[in-house]
Protein backbone atom coordinates (compact mmCIF):
# COMPACT_ATOMS: atom_id res chain seq x y z
CA UNK A 1 0.00 0.00 0.00
CA UNK A 2 0.98 3.57 -0.48
CA UNK A 3 0.54 6.51 1.91
CA UNK A 4 0.58 9.89 0.19
CA UNK A 5 0.65 13.17 2.13
CA UNK A 6 -1.48 15.93 0.62
CA UNK A 7 -0.76 18.51 3.31
CA UNK A 8 -2.20 19.46 6.73
CA UNK A 9 -4.06 16.32 7.94
CA UNK A 10 -4.88 14.99 4.48
CA UNK A 11 -3.57 11.59 3.43
CA UNK A 12 -4.50 9.37 0.50
CA UNK A 13 -3.86 5.73 1.35
CA UNK A 14 -4.14 3.40 -1.61
CA UNK A 15 -4.12 -0.34 -2.08
CA UNK A 16 -4.79 -2.35 -5.25
CA UNK A 17 -8.54 -1.84 -4.96
CA UNK A 18 -9.13 1.04 -2.58
CA UNK A 19 -8.28 4.69 -2.13
CA UNK A 20 -8.89 5.94 1.41
CA UNK A 21 -8.83 9.70 1.80
CA UNK A 22 -8.53 11.42 5.19
CA UNK A 23 -9.53 15.00 6.07
CA UNK A 24 -9.39 16.30 2.47
CA UNK A 25 -8.57 19.98 3.03
CA UNK A 26 -7.29 20.70 -0.47
CA UNK A 27 -8.68 23.69 -2.41
CA UNK A 28 -8.72 25.90 0.69
CA UNK A 29 -5.23 24.92 1.81
CA UNK A 30 -2.57 27.43 0.73
CA UNK A 31 0.03 24.65 0.65
CA UNK A 32 -2.09 21.76 -0.58
CA UNK A 33 -0.56 18.84 -2.46
CA UNK A 34 -3.43 18.55 -4.95
CA UNK A 35 -6.62 20.09 -6.25
CA UNK A 36 -9.80 18.37 -5.15
CA UNK A 37 -10.79 17.57 -8.75
CA UNK A 38 -7.58 15.57 -9.21
CA UNK A 39 -8.06 13.31 -6.19
CA UNK A 40 -10.04 10.08 -6.46
CA UNK A 41 -11.25 8.15 -3.45
CA UNK A 42 -13.38 5.11 -2.68
CA UNK A 43 -13.81 6.06 1.00
CA UNK A 44 -13.41 9.38 2.82
CA UNK A 45 -12.81 9.85 6.54
CA UNK A 46 -13.66 13.15 8.25
CA UNK A 47 -12.47 13.48 11.86
CA UNK A 48 -14.53 16.56 12.78
CA UNK A 49 -16.41 19.55 11.49
CA UNK A 50 -13.69 22.20 11.26
CA UNK A 51 -13.14 23.55 7.75
CA UNK A 52 -9.51 22.39 7.65
CA UNK A 53 -10.75 18.78 7.95
CA UNK A 54 -14.08 18.62 6.10
CA UNK A 55 -12.47 20.53 3.23
CA UNK A 56 -13.53 19.10 -0.11
CA UNK A 57 -15.06 15.89 1.25
CA UNK A 58 -18.48 16.49 -0.27
CA UNK A 59 -17.35 17.40 -3.79
CA UNK A 60 -14.91 14.46 -3.97
CA UNK A 61 -17.47 12.02 -2.52
CA UNK A 62 -20.09 13.19 -5.01
CA UNK A 63 -17.78 12.96 -8.02
CA UNK A 64 -16.30 9.58 -7.03
CA UNK A 65 -19.34 7.96 -5.42
CA UNK A 66 -17.25 7.56 -2.25
CA UNK A 67 -18.66 6.77 1.18
CA UNK A 68 -17.93 9.32 3.92
CA UNK A 69 -17.17 8.06 7.43
CA UNK A 70 -17.87 10.44 10.30
CA UNK A 71 -19.54 10.62 13.68
CA UNK A 72 -23.31 11.01 13.69
CA UNK A 73 -23.03 14.71 14.58
CA UNK A 74 -20.30 15.57 12.05
CA UNK A 75 -22.29 13.68 9.40
CA UNK A 76 -25.13 16.14 10.08
CA UNK A 77 -23.00 18.81 8.35
CA UNK A 78 -23.14 16.97 5.03
CA UNK A 79 -25.95 17.50 2.52
CA UNK A 80 -28.82 15.03 2.35
CA UNK A 81 -28.11 12.36 -0.21
CA UNK A 82 -24.41 12.06 0.56
CA UNK A 83 -23.31 8.44 1.02
CA UNK A 84 -22.52 8.28 4.72
CA UNK A 85 -21.46 5.56 7.12
CA UNK A 86 -21.67 6.86 10.66
CA UNK A 87 -20.38 5.64 14.00
CA UNK A 88 -19.19 6.79 17.39
CA UNK A 89 -16.09 6.43 19.55
CA UNK A 90 -15.24 2.85 20.40
CA UNK A 91 -17.31 1.47 17.56
CA UNK A 92 -15.93 -0.63 14.71
CA UNK A 93 -17.51 -0.72 11.26
CA UNK A 94 -16.54 -3.64 9.03
CA UNK A 95 -16.08 -2.60 5.40
CA UNK A 96 -15.02 -4.05 2.05
CA UNK A 97 -11.53 -2.57 2.50
CA UNK A 98 -11.15 -4.02 6.02
CA UNK A 99 -12.81 -1.77 8.54
CA UNK A 100 -12.61 1.30 10.69
CA UNK A 101 -12.80 1.95 14.42
CA UNK A 102 -13.67 5.40 15.77
CA UNK A 103 -11.13 6.50 18.39
CA UNK A 104 -11.39 9.29 20.90
CA UNK A 105 -9.87 12.72 20.34
CA UNK A 106 -9.73 15.72 22.63
CA UNK A 107 -10.81 18.60 20.44
CA UNK A 108 -13.87 20.62 19.45
CA UNK A 109 -16.04 19.21 16.69
CA UNK A 110 -17.75 22.36 15.38
CA UNK A 111 -21.07 20.64 16.04
CA UNK A 112 -23.02 21.27 19.21
CA UNK A 113 -23.09 18.08 21.26
CA UNK A 114 -20.73 16.30 18.90
CA UNK A 115 -17.22 15.04 19.48
CA UNK A 116 -14.10 15.04 17.38
CA UNK A 117 -12.61 11.62 16.61
CA UNK A 118 -9.69 9.74 15.17
CA UNK A 119 -9.78 6.62 12.99
CA UNK A 120 -8.08 3.26 13.26
CA UNK A 121 -8.32 1.79 9.80
CA UNK A 122 -7.49 -1.76 8.72
CA UNK A 123 -6.39 -2.08 5.11
CA UNK A 124 -4.55 -5.04 3.57
CA UNK A 125 -3.93 -6.42 7.06
CA UNK A 126 -2.17 -3.20 8.15
CA UNK A 127 -3.43 -0.86 10.83
CA UNK A 128 -3.27 2.87 10.31
CA UNK A 129 -4.19 5.29 13.07
CA UNK A 130 -5.18 8.82 11.99
CA UNK A 131 -5.38 10.77 15.25
CA UNK A 132 -7.38 13.70 13.85
CA UNK A 133 -7.00 16.91 15.83
CA UNK A 134 -6.30 15.99 19.43
CA UNK A 135 -4.35 16.74 22.54
CA UNK A 136 -2.36 14.00 24.23
CA UNK A 137 -4.58 11.58 26.13
CA UNK A 138 -4.19 8.39 28.12
CA UNK A 139 -6.72 6.78 25.76
CA UNK A 140 -3.86 6.52 23.31
CA UNK A 141 -2.32 3.84 25.54
CA UNK A 142 -5.25 1.59 24.56
CA UNK A 143 -3.94 1.57 20.99
CA UNK A 144 -0.84 -0.37 22.04
CA UNK A 145 -2.92 -3.59 21.92
CA UNK A 146 -3.93 -2.82 18.34
CA UNK A 147 -0.35 -3.14 17.03
CA UNK A 148 -0.56 0.01 14.95
CA UNK A 149 1.64 -0.08 11.85
CA UNK A 150 1.53 3.64 11.13
CA UNK A 151 0.38 6.47 13.41
CA UNK A 152 -0.44 9.81 11.77
CA UNK A 153 0.02 12.33 14.59
CA UNK A 154 -0.50 16.11 14.73
CA UNK A 155 2.55 18.10 15.84
CA UNK A 156 1.48 21.68 15.09
CA UNK A 157 0.73 22.63 18.72
CA UNK A 158 -1.76 25.39 19.72
CA UNK A 159 -4.87 23.50 18.47
CA UNK A 160 -3.46 19.96 18.88
CA UNK A 161 -0.51 18.15 20.38
CA UNK A 162 2.86 19.72 19.75
CA UNK A 163 6.05 17.78 19.09
CA UNK A 164 6.77 17.00 22.76
CA UNK A 165 3.34 15.54 23.41
CA UNK A 166 3.40 13.69 20.08
CA UNK A 167 6.58 12.04 21.35
CA UNK A 168 4.72 11.05 24.53
CA UNK A 169 1.84 9.77 22.37
CA UNK A 170 4.33 7.62 20.45
CA UNK A 171 5.47 6.08 23.75
CA UNK A 172 1.84 5.20 24.60
CA UNK A 173 0.78 3.89 21.18
CA UNK A 174 4.04 2.08 20.33
CA UNK A 175 3.40 2.05 16.57
CA UNK A 176 5.93 0.72 14.09
CA UNK A 177 6.09 4.07 12.35
CA UNK A 178 4.97 7.68 12.89
CA UNK A 179 4.19 10.30 10.24
CA UNK A 180 3.69 13.88 11.52
CA UNK A 181 0.81 16.04 10.27
CA UNK A 182 -1.11 19.27 11.01
CA UNK A 183 1.96 21.55 11.00
CA UNK A 184 3.45 24.35 8.83
CA UNK A 185 0.11 24.97 7.10
CA UNK A 186 0.09 28.48 8.56
CA UNK A 187 2.82 30.30 10.51
CA UNK A 188 1.06 29.60 13.86
CA UNK A 189 1.56 25.88 13.23
CA UNK A 190 5.23 26.09 12.29
CA UNK A 191 7.29 23.21 13.66
CA UNK A 192 10.61 21.57 12.93
CA UNK A 193 9.60 18.10 11.74
CA UNK A 194 13.18 16.91 11.27
CA UNK A 195 13.90 17.71 14.90
CA UNK A 196 10.71 15.85 15.90
CA UNK A 197 12.00 12.85 13.92
CA UNK A 198 15.38 12.99 15.64
CA UNK A 199 13.86 13.32 19.11
CA UNK A 200 11.28 10.54 18.70
CA UNK A 201 13.70 8.09 17.11
CA UNK A 202 16.28 8.72 19.85
CA UNK A 203 13.76 8.39 22.69
CA UNK A 204 11.61 5.50 21.41
CA UNK A 205 13.34 3.72 18.52
CA UNK A 206 10.11 4.19 16.52
CA UNK A 207 10.76 5.19 12.92
CA UNK A 208 9.48 8.64 11.97
CA UNK A 209 8.83 9.37 8.31
CA UNK A 210 8.57 13.06 7.49
CA UNK A 211 6.70 13.40 4.22
CA UNK A 212 6.98 16.54 2.14
CA UNK A 213 3.61 17.56 0.71
CA UNK A 214 2.92 15.38 -2.32
CA UNK A 215 5.40 12.69 -1.24
CA UNK A 216 4.51 9.15 -0.30
CA UNK A 217 5.81 6.11 1.49
CA UNK A 218 5.12 2.43 0.71
CA UNK A 219 4.20 -0.11 3.36
NI1 LIG B 1 -9.93 21.17 14.36
MN1 LIG C 1 -7.36 21.28 12.47
| pLDDT for position 82 | 87
State the distance from the centre of ligand 1 to the C-alpha of 30, rounded, in angstroms: 17
| pLDDT for position 41 | 98
| pLDDT for position 81 | 85
Tell how strand 84-87 and strand 67-71 pair up: parallel
For the full predicted model, state whether its pTM sits above 0.75: yes
State the distance from the centre of ligand 1 to the C-alpha of 135, rounded, in angstroms: 11
DSSP letter for each residue of 121-163: EEETTEEEEE--S----GGGGGGGGGT-SEEEEE---SSS--H
State the distance from the centre of ligand 1 to the C-alpha of 141, rounded, in angstroms: 22
| Residues in the chain, pLDDT under 50 | none
State the distance from the centre of ligand 1 to the C-alpha of 159, rounded, in angstroms: 7
| pLDDT for position 12 | 98
State the distance from the centre of ligand 1 to the C-alpha of 16, rounded, in angstroms: 31
State the distance from the centre of ligand 2 to the C-alpha of 168, rounded, in angstroms: 20
Looking at 3.40.50.300, 3.60.15.10, 3.40.50.1240, 3.30.390.30, the CATH number of the domain 2-218 comes to: 3.60.15.10
Closest ligand relative to 116 C-alpha: 1
3-state secondary structure of 147: coil
| pLDDT for position 80 | 87
**Positive/negative CA dihedral, 59, 62, 68, 74:** positive
> Among residues 180, 167, 177, which one has the least CA distance to residue 219?
177
Number of H helices, E strands in the chain: 5, 14
Domain ranges in the chain are 2-218
State the distance from the centre of ligand 2 to the C-alpha of 183, rounded, in angstroms: 9
Closest ligand relative to 29 C-alpha: 2
State the distance from the centre of ligand 2 to the C-alpha of 52, rounded, in angstroms: 5
Closest ligand relative to 182 C-alpha: 2
Amino acid sequence: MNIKYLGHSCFLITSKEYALLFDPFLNGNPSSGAKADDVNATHIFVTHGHDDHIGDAVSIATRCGATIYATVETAGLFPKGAALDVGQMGGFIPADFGGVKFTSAIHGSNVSGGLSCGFLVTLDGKKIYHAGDTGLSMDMALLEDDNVDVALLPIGDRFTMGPKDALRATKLIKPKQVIPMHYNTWPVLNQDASRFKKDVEAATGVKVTVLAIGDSVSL
